[in-house]
């Protein structure tokens, strides 16, 4: 089943937490001259028009990127992230997906490996990434990202940032993420793996962080941003989380200053909050 389309959600609060974390990790990886590989198992379309019928339908970006852009006193590193988005977007009405952000932040020596299964979004991704002129450093495949990731490990350059961002429309996505990560760790233990997940009033969603922690109990970071209290009827996504295996040592400090500002800017009711757990070797 491939019914999820990120165009309806681009630029929402979940993208803010996910893309900020990804941006911080890529910038940390850029500190060393050695090349690395960026692998995106669930890429989406790469770039999104916030004026499109899809983005306008629910207007989630109005409670995400639009609120942050309207803020005048964001703390660092959130302020630099929002400023950087302005510079890397080809037009002001666009918002980036993870592949576009990654192509902008990686260097000519780094590689990008992008997977997207949906035929229409794959086509958009190919077209959008053509503008980025990746040439030989980028490979885009219309393949299952879970298998695609395993086939690439270990990467020849022995440094990798992996974003795992499934739609979780099917219950199996939760199990598949854990299973794939176990296999990935066997092949390449030192990889930096970033997993996005939704915070829902459902068992499979609330149990995922604990299952991920068991995979890397001594070296992880887990940040959650809740924008409202869980609904009484149990429906809807009240927030989202990022789980990072082998996080950069400075990530916890960076998110500790960004998360309170994200809560105060993106709160939809007084149930908004954040959590930040980490154990870093
Ligand atoms: N990572 C993107 C970003 O931050 O801009 C958003 C990705 S969106 C949440 C999830 C995407 O995964 C959708 O475009 C969907 O079509 C795609 N997808 C679903 N199952 C997949 C699979 N098994 N392999 C690769 N892509 C898949």
pLDDT, averaged across the chain: 96
Q: Calculate what percentage of the chain has a pLDDT beyond 70.
A: 100
Q: Mean pLDDT across the stretch 69-76?
A: 96
Pocket flag, ligand 1, residue 6 (CB < 6 Å): yes
What is the 48 CA–ligand 1 centroid distance (Å)?
Answer: 14
What is the 186 CA–ligand 1 centroid distance (Å)?
Answer: 24
What is the DSSP annotation of 99-114?
A: HHHHHHHS-TTSEEEE
Pocket flag, ligand 1, residue 145 (CB < 6 Å): yes
Q: Is the C-alpha dihedral spanning 136, 43, 267, 246 positive or negative?
A: negative
Cβ distance 249 to 280 under 8 Å?
A: yes
What is the 267 CA–ligand 1 centroid distance (Å)?
Answer: 26
What is the 270 CA–ligand 1 centroid distance (Å)?
Answer: 31
What per-residue confidence (pLDDT) applies to 220?
A: 98
pLDDT band at 70 (very low <50, low <70, confident <90, very high): very high
pLDDT band at 2 (very low <50, low <70, confident <90, very high): confident
Residue 226 has pLDDT above 90, yes or no: yes
pLDDT tens track for 202-219: 999 999 999 999 999 999
Q: Helix or strand or coil: residue 95?
A: strand
Pocket flag, ligand 1, residue 18 (CB < 6 Å): yes
pLDDT tens track for 144-192: 999 999 999 999 999 999 999 999 999 899 999 999 999 999 999 999 9
Q: Is the C-alpha dihedral spanning 44, 49, 51, 53 positive or negative?
A: negative
Mutate to test the pocket of ligand 1, among 2, 6, 149 (most ligand atoms within 8 A of CB): 6
Strand partners, 38: 112, 161
What per-residue confidence (pLDDT) applies to 191?
A: 98
Both tokens assigned to 224: 């959650």
What per-residue confidence (pLDDT) applies to 280?
A: 84
* Residue with CA at minimum distance from ligand 1 atom 9: 167
**Nearest atom of ligand 1 to the alpha carbon of 10:** 5
The answer for 234, left when phi > 0, alpha when psi is -120 to 50, beta otherwise, is left
pLDDT band at 276 (very low <50, low <70, confident <90, very high): very high
What per-residue confidence (pLDDT) applies to 131?
A: 86
Mutate to test the pocket of ligand 1, among 43, 129, 168 (most ligand atoms within 8 A of CB): 43
Is 110 a known active-site residue? no
Residue 66 has pLDDT above 90, yes or no: yes
What is the 33 CA–ligand 1 centroid distance (Å)?
Answer: 30
Task: Look at the block and give the residue holding tokens 């924008």.
Answer: 227
Residue 1 has pLDDT above 80, yes or no: no
**Nearest atom of ligand 1 to the alpha carbon of 121:** 14
What is the DSSP annotation of 35-66?
A: --EEEESS-TTSEEETTSHHHHHH-GGGGTHH
pLDDT band at 133 (very low <50, low <70, confident <90, very high): confident
pLDDT tens track for 11-43: 999 999 999 999 999 999 999 999 999 999 999
What per-residue confidence (pLDDT) applies to 234?
A: 86
pLDDT tens track for 75-132: 999 999 999 999 999 999 999 999 999 999 999 999 999 999 999 999 999 999 998 8
Q: Mean pLDDT across the stretch 267-280?
A: 96
Catalytic residue among 121, 165, 218, 233: 165
CA triplet 251, 255, 258: central angle to 5 degrees? 145
Pocket flag, ligand 1, residue 105 (CB < 6 Å): no
Report the alpha-carbon distance of residue 251 to residue 40 in Å, rounded.
20
């Amino acid at each position: 089943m491939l019914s999820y389309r990120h165009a309806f959600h681009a630029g929402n609060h979940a993208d803010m937490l996910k893309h900020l974390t990804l941006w911080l990790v890529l910038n940390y990886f850029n500190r060393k001259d050695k090349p690395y590989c960026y692998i995106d198992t669930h890429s989406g379309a790469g770039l999104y028009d916030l004026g499109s019928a899809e983005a306008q339908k629910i207007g989630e970006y109005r409670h995400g990127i639009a609120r942050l852009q309207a803020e005048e006193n964001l703390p660092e590193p959130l302020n630099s992230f929002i400023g950087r988005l302005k510079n890397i977007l080809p037009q002001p009405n666009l918002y980036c997906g993870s592949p576009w952000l990654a192509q902008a932040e990686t260097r000519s020596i780094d590689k990008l490996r992008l997977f997207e299964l949906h035929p229409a979004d794959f086509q958009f991704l190919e077209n959008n990434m053509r503008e980025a002129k990746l040439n030989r450093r980028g490979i885009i495949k219309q393949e299952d990202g879970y298998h695609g990731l395993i086939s690439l490990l270990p990467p020849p350059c022995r440094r990798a940032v992996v974003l795992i961002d499934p739609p979780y429309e099917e219950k199996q996505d939760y199990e598949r993420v854990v299973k794939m990560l176990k296999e990935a760790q066997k092949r390449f233990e030192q990889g930096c793996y970033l997993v996005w997940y939704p915070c829902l009033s459902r068992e499979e969603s609330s149990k995922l962080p604990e299952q991920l922690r068991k995979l890397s109990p001594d070296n992880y970071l887990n940040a959650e941003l809740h924008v409202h209290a869980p609904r009484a009827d149990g429906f809807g996504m009240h927030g989202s989380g990022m789980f990072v295996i082998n996080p950069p040592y400075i990530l916890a400090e960076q998110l500790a200053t960004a998360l309170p500002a994200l809560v105060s800017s993106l709160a939809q009711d007084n149930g908004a909050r954040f959590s930040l757990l980490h154990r870093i070797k």
